[in-house]
Amino acid sequence: MRQGAGPGAAIFVLALAYGAAASVAGWGLAVPLVFSALGFSGSAQFTLLTTLSSGTAVAAVTAAVLINARYVVMSVALNDSLQGGRVHRAVQAQALADASFVVAHRGDGRFDIPRLIGASVPQWLCWVTGTAVGLLAAPSAHLLNAVGADVTFPAFFLMLALDEVRKSRRAIVAALLGAAIAAALLFVTTPGNALLGATAGALIGAIHGNPERNRRGEQS
């Protein structure tokens, strides 16, 4: 649970912004709250909120679903570490969240599932609570910007990334590759697609180099 406290704080600020934006958009109280409680996906919720007001429902749903397509890749990566039957595993995988995926990663392609769930629970609580506070208090976008709230989310992800890349030289290369792919794709496609494309950076793991050199590199 302690592992989810840091990301939870960042998620609370993000949820505050989501609640405030939903309030301004006239979504009422019930829809954003139920969406946060059941959907538990900041990127998809923000995408739906912003695209629904400017386009058709089908286009908005498609955009929100595409931005979450990374969960397919993450779910496949997680599967070997899950226990039980197909449905039981799929239920456990509902604890997937970006920060929890990283916190639960043991560094060898395996994941600590109790840790994944333990990290997601406080994040879920912060996400739902933050949405409620945002809906009720409705802080202005100007105020959130003035206090630097927009730094919270990327800064927390940077903290997690720094811990991850310390694990191996390959992780550094893969992260840089992922960032470069996302950066290039942002010019030509949506953020959701850019994020999905960035996961191709992990394919560097499929390149077989000199095992001795790799081992030495990963120990350094």
Residues 75-104, interacting with other proteins (CB under 8 A) = 75-80, 82, 85-87, 89-94, 96, 98, 101-102
Query: Tokens 């505050």 appear where?
Result: 16
Does 138 participate in binding other proteins (rule CB under 8 A)?
A: no
Q: Which 160-189 positions form the footprint of other proteins (CB under 8 A)?
A: 160-162, 164-165, 167, 170-172, 174-179, 181-183, 186-187
113 in contact with other proteins (CB under 8 A): no
* Interface characters, 12-41, with other proteins (x: CB under 8 A): ---------------x---x--xx--xxxx
Return the residue of 112, 125, 191, 217 that touches other proteins, per CB under 8 A: 191
**Widest Cα–Cα separation across the chain:** 60
Q: What is the 3-state secondary structure (H, E, C) of 66-83?
A: HHCCHHHHHHHHHHCCCC
Looking at the Cβ atoms of 133 and 200, the one nearer to other proteins is 200
Nearest-approach distance from CB 119 to other proteins, in angstroms: 13
The per-residue b/e assignment along 29-50, b for 16 or more CB within 10 angstroms, e otherwise, is eeebbebbeeebbbbbbbbbbe
- Contacts for 172 with CB less than 8 Å, ≥ 6 apart: 165
Q: Are 201 and 174 contacting, i.e. CB atoms less than 8 angstroms apart?
A: yes
Choose which of 61, 113, 133, 138 interacts with other proteins (CB under 8 A). Answer: 61
Size of the site for other proteins (CB under 8 A): 99
